[in-house]
Amino acid sequence: MTLTTESFDTLLHEVRQFIRDECMPFEQQIDRDDQIPEPLVQRMRALGLFGHSIPREYGGAGLSTEQLARVNIEVSQAATTFRARFGGNTGIASESLVVDGTPAQKQAWLPRLASGELTGCFALTEAQAGSDATALQTVAERDGDDYLLSGRKCFITNAPIAGLFTVFARTEPGTIGAKGISAFLVERGTPGLHTPPAYRKMGQHGSPVGEVVLARCRVPASAIVGHAPGQGFRTAMKALNKQRINLAALCVGPAIRLVDEMVGFASARQQFGQAISEFQLVQQMIAESNTEVHAARALVLETARMRDAGVDVTMEASMCKLFASEMCGRVADRAVQVFGGSGYIADNVAERFYRDVRLFRLYEGTSQIHLVNIARRTMARARAAEPALA
């Protein structure tokens, strides 16, 4: 059951206040220190931000896809690192459990993810398995009632601080591609699981991303999501499909913020004896940005509503992620341009967002991978609609 419109409006208002009043003032400090102050994380927990997408019977808010998209558009108007702190728990790090977990697995983990007691992470990517995730080499070797996990995951958001890892590994030796992959729930502290320090990154400072090393890490067979060996890749794709709408919404928020920042700066900055906002070439950058924000927002919300209505939106979710992430990159680039030289200097809002949003075109499917998916599905639909030859 989802929230009533009235309760949702209250929740959205609370989130907006928190983001504007309590998070935005810390953006520069976090960008420099690469760390979110713990009292802010406590506030995120108290406000229930870790559990928005988790069903209400497990302690979450049970938001619909559309409601979650609207929250994401709000939270991402502050530096993207804030959302990255709790966003795994309301997306990719809990969704495998939500869609395919057994009742006992859901009971064991979802309340702790919803409260923010545990931070989750989704460990799929490996050095040789990025866009082609089915090339993963992490193996899970059967040993009595247990499995021994061995391998190395890279680029895993929140790995350095996570308490629960959804690890994808091959359980059927000799299989290739999507077959024979299983999703395991592994708790920090399990012997054989180790996380090296976080990488240094271009942006999204404060959001730790790192490796997960598995050295004959012993887990019971009951740790496989849904107790369904070999179904892990299907589970991953279900989680990623929803996540693409979430991520597209997260691209809209920064663009809204940057349009506001462009307008504010352009109105104040004087050149040639007048505000630069009077120049039509500057106005063009603002107008194009705002138009693209509007288009992306409409696309995301419409796709979210279709998903809530039970429509298969696999292709449309890909379109959302592609369009919104590319749009956000263009808006961030224009923002730097409107700010002029100051947009290139550290601590400028456009400079920071420019670095932060670059990631959106890379993870959860690069733009090229989404283009390939969209083309394939578009042509398949066209073929399906062709009349059969007699």
Ligand X SMILES: Cc1cc2nc3c(=O)[nH]c(=O)nc-3n(C[C@H](O)[C@H](O)[C@H](O)COP(=O)(O)OP(=O)(O)OC[C@H]3O[C@@H](n4cnc5c(N)ncnc54)[C@H](O)[C@@H]3O)c2cc1C
Interface residues with ligand X (CB under 6 A)? 121-125, 130-131, 155-157, 201, 209, 359, 362-364, 366, 368-369, 372
Nearer to ligand X, 129 or 266 (CB): 129
306 is written with which tokens? Answer: 């279709």
CB of 28 to ligand X, least distance (A): 20
36 is written with which tokens? Answer: 């979110």
Reply yes or no on whether 364 is catalytic.
yes
Residue with tokens 């890909």: 318
Residue with tokens 């530096």: 79
C-alpha 324 chain-centroid distance: 13
Q: How far apart are CA 328 and CA 80, in angstroms?
A: 12
Q: Helical H runs in the chain?
A: 5-17, 27-33, 38-46, 65-75, 80-87, 92-100, 103-115, 232-268, 280-308, 314-339, 349-357, 367-385
Active-site pick, 141, 302, 364, 386: 364
322 is written with which tokens? Answer: 């592609």
CB of 111 to ligand X, least distance (A): 22
Q: List residues bridging with 181 in a β-sheet.
A: 170, 231
CA angle 117, 120, 124 (to 5 degrees): 170
DSSP 296-313: HHHHHHHHHHHHHTT---
Residue with tokens 């996570």: 162
Q: β-strand 120-123 against 164-170: which pairing, if any?
A: parallel
| Phi, psi (deg, nearest 5) at residue 10 | -65, -45
CB of 92 to ligand X, least distance (A): 7
Q: How far apart are CA 323 and CA 308, in angstroms?
A: 21
CB of 98 to ligand X, least distance (A): 17
Nearer to ligand X, 64 or 367 (CB): 367
Nearer to ligand X, 125 or 231 (CB): 125
The CA-atom distances, in angstroms, between 171 and each of 15, 146, 182, 247, 283 are 42, 11, 6, 30, 57
Nearer to ligand X, 126 or 261 (CB): 126
DSSP 24-41: GGGHHHHHHHSS--HHHH
CB of 371 to ligand X, least distance (A): 8
Nearer to ligand X, 252 or 322 (CB): 322
Nearer to ligand X, 80 or 289 (CB): 80
Cβ atoms within 10 Å, residue 378: 12
CB of 68 to ligand X, least distance (A): 18
Nearest Cα to 166, choosing from 96, 118, 112?
Answer: 96
CB of 361 to ligand X, least distance (A): 9
Nearer to ligand X, 184 or 339 (CB): 184
Q: How far apart are CA 30 and CA 204, in angstroms?
A: 9
Residue nearest to ligand X as judged by C-beta position = 130
Indicate which residues carry an active-site annotation.
Answer: 364
